């Protein structure tokens, strides 16, 4: 069921929250061999019972009454584990509840459990996780994408109606694309990061993964807003994004980036969609982001640099797992970090330390920051001639498990998603076509800062009206 169907049925007493929950728990039992969900919380029935009691008393109900929601394993719910899929935090229990989860609970949602992910959200395949790899919901030999692979695969296989993910360089959109679901990375600062384990703080955002655009809009309307516990959150009014879905899309100007067209490996599906849009009163304009290709190298300097600093807090003394038989404090740090972090995380820490070290700081970190400014300007000027920009989410369909032997080759896969994080702008991925293996392909829609309304407007229009590719 869609999120809004559950809410309608629970509110109108057609179905009990406990029955909704029981249905999904049964689905999880049947389908979780893909390992998308790593824990179902032990108090879910109590949560559901409380909602049913509210319904029986005719209390005012929240906008997500009775909806089971899965959270990525890097988001805090007090008293529940949050391990970031790392051996280092395997037994860590959250000491407080994140703002995003609090907002969901305030609307009477049920937090059903934790989703698998790549360790510390670094990766594009959910293969590097202490919980064991997760599989694509539609093809067991393929990856679900990452790092929010568990969240997307769980939604796609119908084990949960929706989930939360986080996106630093594409981790919501790429797995959404690979599993045929809808995921948005909001404008930087639209959604609070309080209680979410940091990867690269200037790029991280939380966002919803859903079965369709309207559910996504509903969830983002709830998750957005200023938070005193996260200074980077924006005070701007939160629009009703569900209303944006209903608007007429005719007259929207949609941009296609010249430099993206040049690097697409396959564009038949994309061109078909463009023709459809043109034929339906949507103006297509060519825009230029001359340095868009630099987003990828810029990201792989800035993100590791920030990660290095954020991960410095894990030392085997406070919340992270301590190595045994250490002589002194230095050995505790060294051994615990050596044992606690996986290879990919260590690679990022080394890369981050390198680009931040004196002598290289200007050549790498500062230079990357300058290029970031340039890219931001290029996007702003592109948005003077269009309302939204479209491009594919990925080169193609989900890749095979174990396909990438060289980590840098996997980094290259993030080429289309990273620009939104570098520019701080919102971008959604919606399924729009099928590839040669009959697996979904995702379309990305970008808009300027805080213009999520335009994204939902166009996304919903394409979802409802464009059927040729599916």
Q: Which range binds ligand GLN by CB under 6 A, 20-28, 118-126, 227-235, 382-390?
A: 118-126
Where in 94-215 does DSSP place strands (E)?
110-115, 162-167, 182-185, 205-210
Residues 300, 303, 309, 310, Cα dihedral to 10°: -140
What's the start-to-end Cα distance of the chain, in Å?
Answer: 20
**Residue recorded with tokens 């599916």:** 470
- φ, ψ of residue 315 to 5 degrees: the values are -135, 5
Q: Which range binds ligand GLN by CB under 6 A, 20-28, 40-48, 162-170, 380-388?
A: 162-170
Q: Note whether 123 binds ligand GLN by CB under 6 A.
A: yes
Residues 295-334 that bind ligand GLN (CB under 6 A): 303
Q: Note whether 71 binds ligand GLN by CB under 6 A.
A: no
Half-sphere exposure of 93 (CA within 13 A, CB side): 4
Cα 451 to chain center, whole Å? 18
Residues 189-218 that bind ligand GLN (CB under 6 A): 199
Q: Is 147 a catalytic residue?
A: yes
Q: Note whether 69 binds ligand GLN by CB under 6 A.
A: no
Q: Note whether 47 binds ligand GLN by CB under 6 A.
A: no
Angstrom distance (rounded) from CA 157 to CA 159: 6
* Catalytically annotated residue among 171, 221, 224, 320: 171
Residues 438-467 that bind ligand GLN (CB under 6 A): none
Half-sphere exposure of 337 (CA within 13 A, CB side): 17
Nearer to ligand GLN, 113 or 170 (CB): 170
Q: In the set 149, 170, 186, 340, which binds ligand GLN (CB under 6 A)?
A: 170
With beta carbons less than 8 A apart as the criterion, state whether 194 and 183 touch.
no
Nearer to ligand GLN, 52 or 414 (CB): 414
Q: Note whether 124 binds ligand GLN by CB under 6 A.
A: yes
With beta carbons less than 8 A apart as the criterion, state whether 389 and 254 touch.
yes
- The full DSSP string for 318-380 is SSSPPPSS-SSHHHHHHHHHHHHS-HHHHHHHHHHHHHHSTTTTIIIIIHHHHHHHHHHHHHH
3-state secondary structure at position 178: helix
Q: In the numeric block, which tokens belong to residue 117?
A: 């992910």
Nearer to ligand GLN, 199 or 241 (CB): 199
3-state secondary structure at position 162: strand
* Catalytically annotated residue among 9, 54, 63, 72: 72
Gyration radius of the chain over CA positions: 21
As measured in angstroms, the least distance from the Cβ of 34 to ligand GLN is: 20
Nearer to ligand GLN, 122 or 162 (CB): 122
Nearer to ligand GLN, 24 or 299 (CB): 299
As measured in angstroms, the least distance from the Cβ of 171 to ligand GLN is: 3
Q: Note whether 171 binds ligand GLN by CB under 6 A.
A: yes
Q: Which range binds ligand GLN by CB under 6 A, 1-9, 169-177, 257-265, 356-364?
A: 169-177
- φ, ψ of residue 377 to 5 degrees: the values are -65, -40
Q: Is 335 a catalytic residue?
A: no
Nearer to ligand GLN, 110 or 122 (CB): 122
Q: Which range binds ligand GLN by CB under 6 A, 99-107, 119-127, 309-317, 447-455?
A: 119-127
Q: In the set 18, 47, 126, 168, which binds ligand GLN (CB under 6 A)?
A: 168
Angstrom distance (rounded) from CA 467 to CA 470: 6
Angstrom distance (rounded) from CA 306 to CA 286: 34
Nearer to ligand GLN, 54 or 185 (CB): 185
* Catalytically annotated residue among 147, 221, 244, 336: 147
Cβ neighbours of residue 453 closer than 8 Å, sequence gap 6 or more: 239, 241, 244, 247
Q: In the set 108, 119, 139, 414, which binds ligand GLN (CB under 6 A)?
A: 414
Considering CB under 6 A, how many residues would be counted as binding ligand GLN?
13
Nearer to ligand GLN, 148 or 336 (CB): 148
Query: What is the chain's length?
Result: 470
Paired strand residues for 403: none
As measured in angstroms, the least distance from the Cβ of 185 to ligand GLN is: 8
As measured in angstroms, the least distance from the Cβ of 444 to ligand GLN is: 14
Nearer to ligand GLN, 21 or 422 (CB): 422
Enter the DSSP assignment of 230: B
Q: Note whether 352 binds ligand GLN by CB under 6 A.
A: no
Cα 52 to chain center, whole Å? 31
Q: Which range binds ligand GLN by CB under 6 A, 96-104, 121-129, 327-335, 350-358?
A: 121-129
**Residue recorded with tokens 């998603």:** 417
Where on the chain is the footprint of ligand GLN (CB under 6 A)? 121-124, 147, 167-171, 199, 303, 414
Catalytic residues: 72, 147, 171
């Amino acid at each position: 069921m869609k999120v809004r169907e559950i809410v309608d049925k629970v509110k109108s007493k057609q179905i009990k929250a406990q029955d909704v929950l029981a249905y999904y728990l049964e689905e999880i039992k049947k389908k979780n061999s893909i390992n998308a969900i790593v824990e179902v919380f032990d108090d879910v029935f109590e949560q559901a019972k409380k909602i049913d009691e509210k319904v029986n008393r005719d209390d005012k109900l929240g906008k997500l009454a009775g909806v089971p929601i899965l959270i990525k394993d890097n988001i805090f719910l007090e008293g529940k584990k949050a391990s970031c899929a790392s051996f280092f935090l395997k037994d860590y229990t959250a000491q407080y509840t994140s703002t995003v989860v609090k907002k969901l609970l305030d609307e009477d949602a049920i937090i059903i459990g934790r989703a698998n992910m790549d360790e510390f959200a670094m990766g594009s395949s959910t293969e590097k996780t202490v919980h064991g790899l997760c599989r694509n919901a539609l093809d067991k030999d393929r990856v679900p994408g990452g790092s929010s692979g568990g969240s997307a695969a769980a939604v796609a296989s119908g084990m949960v109606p929706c989930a939360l993910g986080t996106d630093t360089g594409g981790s919501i959109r790429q797995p959404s694309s690979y599993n045929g679901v809808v995921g948005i990375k909001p404008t930087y600062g639209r959604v609070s990061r309080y209680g979410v384990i940091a990867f690269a703080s200037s790029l991280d955002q939380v966002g919803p993964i859903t079965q369709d655009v309207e559910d996504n809009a509903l969830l983002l309307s709830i998750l957005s807003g200023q938070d005193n516990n996260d200074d980077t959150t924006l005070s701007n009014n939160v629009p009703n994004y569900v209303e944006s879905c209903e608007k007429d899309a005719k007259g929207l100007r949609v941009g296609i980036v010249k430099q993206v067209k040049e690097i697409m490996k396959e564009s038949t599906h994309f061109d078909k969609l463009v023709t459809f849009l043109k034929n339906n009163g949507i103006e297509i304009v060519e825009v230029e982001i001359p340095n868009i290709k630099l987003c990828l190298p810029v990201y792989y300097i800035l993100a590791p640099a920030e990660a290095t600093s954020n991960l410095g807090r894990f030392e085997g003394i406070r919340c992270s797992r301590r190595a045994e038989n250490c002589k002194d404090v230095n050995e505790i740090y060294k051994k615990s970090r050596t044992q606690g972090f996986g290879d990919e995380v260590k690679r990022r820490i080394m890369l981050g330390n390198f680009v931040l070290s004196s002598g290289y700081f200007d050549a790498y970190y500062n230079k990357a920051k300058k290029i970031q400014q340039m890219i931001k300007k290029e996007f702003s000027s592109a948005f003077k001639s269009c309302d939204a920009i479209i491009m594919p989410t990925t080169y193609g369909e989900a890749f095979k498990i174990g396909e990438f032997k060289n980590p840098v080759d996997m980094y290259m896969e993030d080429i289309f998603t990273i620009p939104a994080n570098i520019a701080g702008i919102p971008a959604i991925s919606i399924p729009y076509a099928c590839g040669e293996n009959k697996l979904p392909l995702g379309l990305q829609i970008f808009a300027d800062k805080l213009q999520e309304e335009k994204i939902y407007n166009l996304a919903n229009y394409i979802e409802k009206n464009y059927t040729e590719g599916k």
